[in-house]
Amino acid sequence: MAVTPLTQFLFNVFITIAVLVTLYTCNFYYLVLLSKQRRKYQQTELGSPTITIQLPIYNEKYVAARLVNAVCSMDYPKEKMCIQVLDDSDDDTYDILENLVVDYRQKGFDISHIRRADRKGYKAGALRNAMKFVKGDFVAIFDADFIPPDWFLKKAIPYFAKPEIGLIQCKWGHVNEKYSALTQAQALSLDLHFLIEQKAKSNSHLYMSFNGTAGIWRRECIEDAGGWHTATLVEDLDLSYRAQMKGWKCLFLADIVVDAELPVQMNAAKRQQFRWAKGSIQCAIKLLGDVAIKKIPFDTKIQAFVQLTRHIVHPLMLIQFLILPILLSSKFNLYVVSVLPLLTIVAYLAMGPVVYIMIIRNLWAQRWKSKTLAYFYLIFYSAGMSVNNTVAVFDAFLGKKNEFLRTPKYGIVNNTDDWRDKAYNLPFTKTTLLELFFGVYGILGIFISIFSGNPIFAPLIGIQTLGYFYISYLSISHTTFKKNKSQLLRNITKAEKMANTYYKLAMVGIIGFISFGAFMAYYGYQHDVYPLDQSRGLLDRIKATDDTQVITEYLNNIKTLLPQEGNPVWIFPTETTDFGKIQGDLENMISSVDKISTVPQDSSSFQTGMINIHERAKELRLHLLDATPYMYVSFSNIVFSSLWIAVILGIFAVLKRKKERLKSYEMSDEV
């Protein structure tokens, strides 16, 4: 098999990415081993020290009261609790909390409703602002969707036995894990994070992170580390690393579980994942220089690098996904061992599902079957989410400033609870367009893997393809303009009807254009690329035969399959990829074969002529191999793709305009 410079370069990139992704995967398995260590943390009876409990809240009318009620129900002396409701809300949440705070204050609680003039710094800004009002030596933090148990403080505080303990992070529970496949996938992902990564790092000298909620800080630790910074979207990760670089120790307590609500809307889950991915890269840019020069163990430096940069796996996987069909269509040998191609799939299964299922069975002996089912949901969820997280990674590297966008919650606990008629629902974004593009490209990749004689790669491409369609489908289907129930019962305005109609029409239009794009991709492959693959196959057959009649038939077939003129390399074209010249070479070969057919087959002239024909067939095959990758980026394909994207962007633009009109209508109606 001949290798062109382009395919060799792409193969080198492909293999480099495979090695990097494998290293990140192996690091997770290393943490699995560390997490198996049994370690008991020292506890000391500290009595009932004064604790400040901070509740950062922004527009959480469905869950804010539940949080405040849970905190005020804690089995802890209320004179020892300083409760700070850090409320930046600009909707009904403010009134709910104001009335609740007044009520609990009258009952003797030290509870304050802290408001700011603006949301500068977002959650980190609210926490930093509230530090000047902190009482006592400890600060507990709970996000709005969490429900701390009444025994939480009494059980957690004794773990601050040693003075170097600066943070205690507790495990997240999930009140709505069984709500849908989406929530099951998220729950498993978070559980693996806590029970493997956090536990492993807590058991060792590796740096672990604060997860932003369900934890308690030593006040001195926060101040010594420099307080809350607002430069990144993950202020929790930032502060915990700065604290550990100062010598503080962080603990993870798996036996203290604080229930919380998982996002039930796909667009909300994507927003949360985006914030985490972008924030991690921002922290990598901000902190890795300090980590590198600090006098800390080398393996701690390595693990810090891995944790802060692990989201680069998402763009790497996308690049690999784009490269694979091109290599397959170029007949590049991708098998790990050429004689045993199944080893490629076996290696993938061994490094992925098999090991993960073993880990799941070890962690959840009684529930491992249901968790294994959730793992298969997680495979598609993680694959499809790679587009969203790739955008986040590039945003971070490019230094793009983003607003801290909260993840909306709806107070969903039971499987019968509905969220679609509530406020805070998020529409799908332009990222959905990219997910659809990769889904369509994946379908093309599956066809290429089959037609190129590499069907073994079709399942690998198919997993990611299904993931992209799964994420994009839920992003669109979870989009709504509905108001809450009480408003719906009173009145459905003309603007709301129009908005919902526009969204339904948009969904039909997008699905139609996706289907049309998939058909055109398949047609384009069949019409432009597949004929070149067939022609290369016929040239291979010509090299293997001395039958002049068969060779002539093959050459005539190739002439029919290939374009009569044109050059796919439309920027800096070369003669070797000019189809007009290739057609001329085929004509010359046919003439040469006709002359050879008149010569006795046992003569030296016949043998010499055949060697010449075989060499020319080999050369033509190389020229077609050079031309094949450029058929994907032909001028017509670029124009069609641009028009296809422009139409879908146009649909997004119309939706955005209609949404703004709806908002302005509602505001004027409220006034």
**Per-position DSSP letters for 294-333, written without gaps between them:** S---HHHHHHHHHHHHGGGHHHHHHHHHHHHHHHHHTT--
Give the other-Cβ count within 10 Å of 203's Cβ: 19
Cα→Cα distances 580→559, 564, 587, Å: 10, 6, 11
- Would you say 389 and 274 are in contact if contact means Cβ atoms under 8 Å apart? yes
236 is catalytic: yes
**Averaged pLDDT score across all residues of the chain:** 86
Which tokens go with 537?
A: 């196959």
Whether the per-residue pLDDT at 433 is higher than 80: the answer is: yes
Specify the higher pLDDT residue, 670 or 542. Answer: 542
Segment holding 483, helix H or strand E: none
> Could you tell me the sign of the dihedral formed by the alpha carbons of 554, 559, 561, 562, in that order?
positive
> CB within 8 A of 484, min separation 6: which ones?
421, 422, 423
Name the band, by pLDDT with cuts 50, 70 and 90, for residue 652.
low
123, amino acid identity: K
Question: What gap in Å lies between CA 167 and CA 159, rounded to an integer?
Answer: 10
Put simply, whether the predicted model's pTM sits higher than 0.85 gets the answer no
Reported residue count of the chain is 671
**507 or 406: which leads in pLDDT:** 406
Q: What is the pLDDT of residues 595-624, one digit of tens each?
A: 998 888 888 889 999 999 999 998 898 888
- Closest to 539 (Cα-Cα) out of 589, 573, 584, 588: 589
Q: Of 88, 145, 191, 259, which residue is the catalytic one?
A: 88
Would you state the pLDDT for residue 498? Answer: 59
Spatial CB neighbours of 470, under 8 Å, sequence gap ≥ 6: 380, 381, 384
pLDDT band at residue 506 using 50, 70 and 90 as cut-offs: low
Q: pLDDT tens, 244-291?
A: 999 999 999 999 999 999 999 999 999 999 999 999 999 999 999 999
Beta strand segments in 286-434, E: none
Average pLDDT over residues 571-579: 77
Q: CA angle, 655 as apex, 649 and 657 as ends, to 5°?
A: 105
Among residues 199, 201, 205, 198, the alpha carbon closest in space to that of 297 is found at: 205
Q: What is the pLDDT of residue 670?
A: 43
CB–CB of 122/89 below 8 Å?
Answer: no
Cα 592 from Cα 268, distance rounded (Å): 68
Which residue is associated with the tokens 């490019």?
398
What's the rounded mean pLDDT across residues 512-535?
76
What three-state secondary structure class fits 248? coil
Residue 653: how many other CB atoms lie within 10 Å? 12
Residue 578 has pLDDT above 90, yes or no: no
- For 124, the 3-state DSSP assignment is helix
Q: Poorest-confidence range of 2-11, 200-209, 467-476, 598-607?
A: 2-11
- Mean pLDDT across the stretch 342-365? 76
Phi/psi of residue 250, nearest 5 degrees: -110, 140
SS3 of 413, please? coil
The reported pLDDT for the residue numbered 480 is 61
Q: Is the pLDDT assigned to residue 631 strictly greater than 90?
A: no
585 is catalytic: no
Residue 460 has pLDDT above 90, yes or no: no
* Farthest CA pair distance, the chain: 113
What's residue 327's pLDDT?
85
Q: Residues near 619 by Cβ (< 8 Å), separated by ≥ 6?
A: none
Q: How many CB atoms lie within 10 A of CB 430?
A: 12
Q: Does residue 565 or residue 139 have the better pLDDT?
A: 139
Instruction: Say whether pLDDT at 655 is over 80.
Output: no
Sheet strand arrangement including 81-87: 110-114, 81-87, 51-57, 138-141, 215-218, 165-174, 249-260, 146-147
Per-residue b/e over 334-372, b at no fewer than 16 CB within 10 Å?
A: beeeeeebeebeeeeeeeeeeebeebbeebbeeebeebb
* pLDDT tens digits for range 147-170: 999 999 999 999 999 999 999 999
pLDDT at 107: 95
CA atoms within 13 A on the CB side of 138: 23
Q: Tens digit of pLDDT for each residue in 291-320?
A: 999 999 999 999 999 999 999 999 999 999
Per-residue pLDDT band for 630 (boundaries 50, 70, 90) equals: confident
What does the pLDDT average to over 99-114?
A: 96
pLDDT score of 43 more than 70: yes
Residue 412: pLDDT band (50, 70, 90) is very high
Exactly one of 87, 143, 145, 236 is catalytic; name it.
Answer: 236
- 148 vs 571, which has greater pLDDT? 148
Task: Decide if pLDDT at 33 tops 90.
Answer: yes
pLDDT, position 420:
86
Q: What amino acid occupies position 204?
A: S
